[in-house]
Structure 1
Amino acid sequence: MKMRFASLLSLGALLAGSLLSGCATTPQDAQDNNDTGATPVILVSLDGFRTEYLSRGLTPHIAAIAQNGISTTAMHPSFPSITFPNHYTLVTGLRPDHHGIVGNTMYDPSHPGVKFTMASKESYWWDQAEPIWVTAKKQGLKVATMFWPGSESEIHGVRPDDYAAFDKSMSDDQRVDKLLSWFDVPAKDRPRFSTLYFNTTDTNGHHFGPNSPQVNAALQDVDEGVSRLMAGLESRHIKADVIVVADHGMSEIGDNHYIALDKIVPAKSFDFVTGGAYAGVNARPGQTAILEKALLQKHDHMQCWRKGEIPERLHYGTNPRVPAYICLAEPGWVVLKTKPDAQHEALKGDHGYDPASPDMNALFVASGPDFPAGKVLAPFDNVDVYPLIMQLLKVQAQPNDGTLAPFVPLLTMNPT
């Protein structure tokens, strides 16, 4: 897929014709917002919060953001619909195949034998793209990241002005308070762009399933976290554009819905790179024909492809880091190397499936001075969040796969 330039000049004429002056930032707003007239943008991720969760009536504060701003009936994740690839997509506007974080675990042929995990911080893993905080800082803006994949790494020689190393023991309240503390500085030193991350919905979704009481409790917890953020901004007289998103949704895993690859193909024929809702494998030397004969035939509940033959709609398979063969399970099933151990048998939910699956639809709500109230957008892809944020920041975007088109009728800021 050819990348599009979603620069601040793109679609400018359309934006100019669609301004909603009644929602424009007032002089008092400008005074409250750091005495600069610049509206902070805060990107909040609720990991694993599928769109349907919003309809359960358990998240009144998140629902209030939608009512006071904009939302969508569905934001489609990028393939694979897992955490690290999609968090990096949200802040680069690139499909995983283009930004290089093609999985939560992966290998790079240019660094033989080195495995990427969610703890990897080496710059070379992240340097295939430039996230918002790097671009914004290069263009003179203050930036801060309260947890976000890649934000602990030096990318293109740049780090956020303020950031925190991921600490899963840190409570949601502590995360919010840490982010808000970065605003308790002189106006000129406050971040124009910042991020915040909550993981409870994803954790409970995996352990108990998306329809469990534990997920409902997690929804209430993250809603309280969002409420604490909004109250903290209000008490500081900061009018921010707050965008709350998820990286993906969550599907229920059926009982015994596991596909063991070593029961389909000889275990000696492949190296297992990653597994779950999708699996990635490489052929061992001299084993390609044996592996392909068994793997590329028709299977129940799973389809496998050579990386160069993955359906175009998934936008995946050209990056050297993508394994040679990809197997995608149907929702509710999981692909593993061998029969599940106790840890995998205990899992009740997963993600990573085809982004077209309704269960994978991710949350998107946003409110603030630059958004009208109560507007619901048609479904769009998560690559489109990046050009929106760059437009809000009035920062020149990098080449990306997104478009401002879903937001053109609604944006209230003056085009640059």
Structure 2
Amino acid sequence: MFIFLFPRWDNFKKKEELWFNEDCSIKCHKADFIRKPLLVISLDGFKRSYIDNHIVKTLEHMAKCGTTAEYMYGTYPTKTFPNHYSIATGLYPESHGIVDNIIYDKRLKTEFIDIRKTNDAQYFNGIPIWNVLERQNITTACLFWPACDSPINGIQPTYNLKYNRSMSYRDRVDQIINWLKMPANIRPSLIMAYFSQPDVVAHYKNDMDISNELENLELILDYLFKTLHNMESLNCINIIILSDHGMQKINHRYYVNEMIGNENILFADGVIGQLYFPNDTNSTLQDKIKETMEELKCYNNEYYRVYDKRRLPKRYHFSKSDRIGDIILDGQLGTIFYENLAVDYNKTRDHGYDFILEPMHTIFYAYGPNIARGLVLKPFQNIELFNLMIALLNVNSNLSSPNNGTEGRLNSVLDDIAISKPNRLKPLEECRITNNIQNEKTCLLGLSLLISGNEEFCYLSNCSTTLQSALIQRSDSNYTIALIERINSDSLLSQSQLKNDSNEWITTSLSARGTNDLQVNLHRDFVKGHFNNLEQITSDYVELYNEIIVISGPIYDFDDNNFFADSFEVSSQLRLQRNTTPSHIFRVIFRCKHSQWFDEEFQCENAKSLDVLSFILPNVPNDYNCLDSLSYLAANKARLRDIELLTGLEFLPTSWIPQAELYDDEFSVTLRTMMPEHLWQENELKR
């Protein structure tokens, strides 16, 4: 008698279905893949919370054997074309010029242009990644990625399909596969592929329809990975799957013609409404803006907020382009704006809101031979992707293009790729007074681990039994950049005191302790209002955490370009004009989250327990939204990196410090680019 033992059929089935190894080993065995191609797939409108439905299993497998992020932030506004072009260039919309899906640029046209329906390269600033590669004779391909149809600087991808909505997703994937089957000498090294779902169905359909579309996407992605696996090419390709924005149900509709009386305007509809005064010259524009802002003042801050460019939160990076509206209606979740009822096209969901808000969060997944295994990144913004893609393609960064990403932010994603150490500024030195060093010894041990600056910056220390502080200033002038203070519960915090006069501008100390070390001109109403609220929250945090380090300073961004003007130029202007009126002020608060500060040192006992909360407040008299103190401060939170860009300072330097292990590059760059979503212990703060 012969007994044959056959394996179970479901074991055969399991082996057939798996495109990844259980041990997550990824090794390329094909000799003609010397340069590993990079495939970037965008799933339009795939919000982070869709992952929790566990429908798209391919992404879960990518996370297990590759890298994912808790979530990714888009750029403001969280619209399709602005964000896809930000991914392609590493630039904010204010820099690359695609500030909305609908654009008004009076220098090019006297009416709105739908950027989705034009290939006019004049609208696209910056250098997209396919141009960077094509200039170096590296072949690229685009499958419907926004902006690929435009000959930007006369260049387009070698392979570029004209958008065809009717092309099935199966055919699109087959096109990607066919490109990857090409011989090495003509195969694209970069493929950028765009899929319009689940965005299209989410705008007008219900949750069941969205789930059905997610199931379709899983079938398509599974087909792609299985096919590449069967070709024995999957482990030779680096793959990134991401999305551009999230999605939110609409429940509040506003019509601008019912809100303001001025009919001589242009208005771009959406959850972020942009209002333009096309017929006004520079001499009358500011009056029209002020007049209209007064009409909208305190209208309903629960559902939307109104800003001009100076008052917009700096973390939006949405002020320096002339294409940005003169007034922004910043919808809160669920709000949408139309010019009038006739143009309301009855969307049930939309996007464009503040990228910090949970429904706008997006996805990031990466898998491949040069991708770290099992890594979960802290949230980051999509402007960081450009530098990652350049590194994965082994392109010399010196041959790349300038961008708004932060060098090194996503280096931890890279595996088996040489990584250059980010360039950092040198530590600050003490200022010399009459050619002598100010102090033989400083009480500010660890200051150089906390902050550095341009080479012309130095610091003056002020130390006593009750005070540890330092002024950062230019070494060739009295132009002060920032004030650093270590404050504990024994230090009495002084609230700003208004003088009994009616001056519009008041010389005010930025010191959290009320010393006179750093004084600037602030608007009287600002001092009385939100600057006083900033002082109060600082005092609250001293009480809550016993000891904090506070860094305060002025910002001189008069042209609203969100970038630090040459310090010599600024300081020279200040010395000549004695003009100490900043456009904004900043404050950075450091705490030790799970440990204490070292005595007489600017270091936490557990170095990586260092935590930060930062603010940038405009020096303006009016808050047109009538926000309460904590809501206003929460709206004007900022990254450390935003303050660096506006001041020339640099936080948590690592490259030049012997004790660099305290703050390694990964910890430093993550904290510097961290987007603060909430105030600390908001329920315990005084209002």
User: Under a length normalisation based on structure 2, what TM-score does the superposition of the two structures give?
Assistant: 0.54
Partner of 1:292: 293
Does the CA contact (< 8 Å) of 2:42 and 2:194 recur in 1? yes
What residue ranges of structure 2 are gaps of 5+ in the alignment? 1-22, 281-287, 420-687
- Distance in 2 of aligned mates of 1:24 and 1:407: 22
Would the alpha carbon gap of residues 97 and 267 (structure 1) be closer, same or farther in structure 2, given more than 3 Å must change? same
Instruction: Pick which of 40-49 and 279-288 moved more.
Output: 279-288
Partner of 1:85: 82
Matched, 1:136 2:137: no
DSSP-derived class of the 1:399 partner:
coil
Partner of 2:256: 261
Partner of 1:121: 119
Partner of 1:393: 393
- Distance in 1 of aligned mates of 2:49 and 2:407: 24
Q: Deviation per CA, 1:192-222: give whole Å up to 9, x if none.
A: 000111112001111125xx11111111112
- Distance in 2 of aligned mates of 1:144 and 1:208: 32
Instruction: Pick which of 278-287 and 262-271 moved more.
Output: 278-287
Does the CA contact (< 8 Å) of 2:26 and 2:368 recur in 1? no
Partner of 1:413: 416
Specify the code of the residue in structure 1 equivalent to 2:378: A
Q: Of 263, 275, 281, which aligns to 2:275?
A: 281
Does the CA contact (< 8 Å) of 2:66 and 2:368 recur in 1? yes
- Distance in 2 of aligned mates of 1:29 and 1:404: 32
Partner of 1:39: 36
Q: Of 293, 298, 312, which aligns to 2:314?
A: 312
Matched, 1:354 2:351: no
Count of residues in correspondence between the two structures: 383
Specify the code of the residue in structure 1 equivalent to 2:163: F
Q: CA deviation at 1:296?
A: 4.4
Q: Deviation per CA, 1:241-280: give whole Å up to 9, x if none.
A: 10000000111112xx1011111102514221x2211101
DSSP-derived class of the 2:337 partner:
strand
Does the CA contact (< 8 Å) of 2:24 and 2:65 recur in 1? no
Would the alpha carbon gap of residues 320 and 342 (structure 1) be closer, same or farther in structure 2, given more than 3 Å must change? closer
- Distance in 2 of aligned mates of 1:303 and 1:160: 41
Partner of 1:214: 209
- Distance in 2 of aligned mates of 1:184 and 1:216: 32
Does the CA contact (< 8 Å) of 2:37 and 2:190 recur in 1? yes
Specify the code of the residue in structure 2 equivalent to 1:303: R
- Distance in 2 of aligned mates of 1:414 and 1:405: 13
Does the CA contact (< 8 Å) of 1:372 and 1:411 recur in 2? yes
DSSP-derived class of the 1:231 partner:
helix
Q: CA deviation at 1:102?
A: 0.7
Would the alpha carbon gap of residues 246 and 132 (structure 1) be closer, same or farther in structure 2, given more than 3 Å must change? same
- Distance in 1 of aligned mates of 2:344 and 2:401: 44
Q: Deviation per CA, 1:134-193: give whole Å up to 9, x if none.
A: 101111211000111110111111111101111111111111112222223222111100
Matched, 1:58 2:16: no
- Distance in 1 of aligned mates of 2:344 and 2:406: 44
Would the alpha carbon gap of residues 342 and 77 (structure 1) be closer, same or farther in structure 2, given more than 3 Å must change? closer
- Distance in 2 of aligned mates of 1:215 and 1:81: 20
Specify the code of the residue in structure 2 equivalent to 1:337: E
Would the alpha carbon gap of residues 394 and 338 (structure 1) be closer, same or farther in structure 2, given more than 3 Å must change? same
Q: CA deviation at 1:409?
A: 3.0
Does the CA contact (< 8 Å) of 2:372 and 2:412 recur in 1? no
- Distance in 1 of aligned mates of 2:258 and 2:106: 28
- Distance in 2 of aligned mates of 1:115 and 1:262: 18
Does the CA contact (< 8 Å) of 2:73 and 2:360 recur in 1? yes
Partner of 1:10: none
DSSP-derived class of the 2:101 partner:
coil
Would the alpha carbon gap of residues 290 and 372 (structure 1) be closer, same or farther in structure 2, given more than 3 Å must change? closer
- Distance in 1 of aligned mates of 2:192 and 2:215: 20
Q: CA deviation at 1:54?
A: 1.0
Specify the code of the residue in structure 2 equivalent to 1:99: H
Q: CA deviation at 1:404?
A: 4.9
Partner of 2:330: 328
Does the CA contact (< 8 Å) of 2:256 and 2:339 recur in 1? yes
Q: CA deviation at 1:25?
A: 7.4
Instruction: Pick which of 306-315 and 406-415 moved more.
Output: 406-415
Once superposed, what is the RMSD of the aligned Cα atoms? 2.0
- Distance in 1 of aligned mates of 2:197 and 2:37: 26
Q: Of 96, 100, 116, which aligns to 2:97?
A: 100
Specify the code of the residue in structure 1 equivalent to 2:156: R
- Distance in 2 of aligned mates of 1:203 and 1:25: 35
Q: CA deviation at 1:232?
A: 2.7
Q: Deviation per CA, 1:341-400: give whole Å up to 9, x if none.
A: 5622xx211100011101100011010001122211111111111110000011232111
Q: Deviation per CA, 1:42-79: give whole Å up to 9, x if none.
A: 00000000111111111011221112111011100000
Partner of 2:374: 374
Partner of 1:249: 246
Specify the code of the residue in structure 1 equivalent to 2:332: E
- Distance in 1 of aligned mates of 2:408 and 2:344: 46
Specify the code of the residue in structure 2 equivalent to 1:304: V
Q: CA deviation at 1:24?
A: 9.5
Greater per-residue helix proportion: 1
Would the alpha carbon gap of residues 30 and 402 (structure 1) be closer, same or farther in structure 2, given more than 3 Å must change? farther
Partner of 1:202: 199
- Distance in 2 of aligned mates of 1:101 and 1:174: 29
Q: Deviation per CA, 1:79-128: give whole Å up to 9, x if none.
A: 000000000001111111111111100122321325331111011112x1
Does the CA contact (< 8 Å) of 1:269 and 1:288 recur in 2? no
Instruction: Pick which of 231-240 and 199-208 moved more.
Output: 231-240
Larger Rg: 2
Does the CA contact (< 8 Å) of 1:29 and 1:37 recur in 2? no
DSSP-derived class of the 1:343 partner:
coil
Instruction: Pick which of 236-245 and 78-87 moved more.
Output: 236-245
Does the CA contact (< 8 Å) of 1:258 and 1:339 recur in 2? no
- Distance in 2 of aligned mates of 1:142 and 1:285: 46
DSSP-derived class of the 1:91 partner:
helix
Does the CA contact (< 8 Å) of 1:94 and 1:402 recur in 2? yes
Specify the code of the residue in structure 2 equivalent to 1:400: N
Whose relative contact order is higher, 1 or 2, with alpha carbons under 8 Å and at least 6 apart?
1
- Distance in 2 of aligned mates of 1:134 and 1:233: 27
User: Under a length normalisation based on structure 1, what TM-score does the superposition of the two structures give?
Assistant: 0.87
- Distance in 2 of aligned mates of 1:285 and 1:152: 32
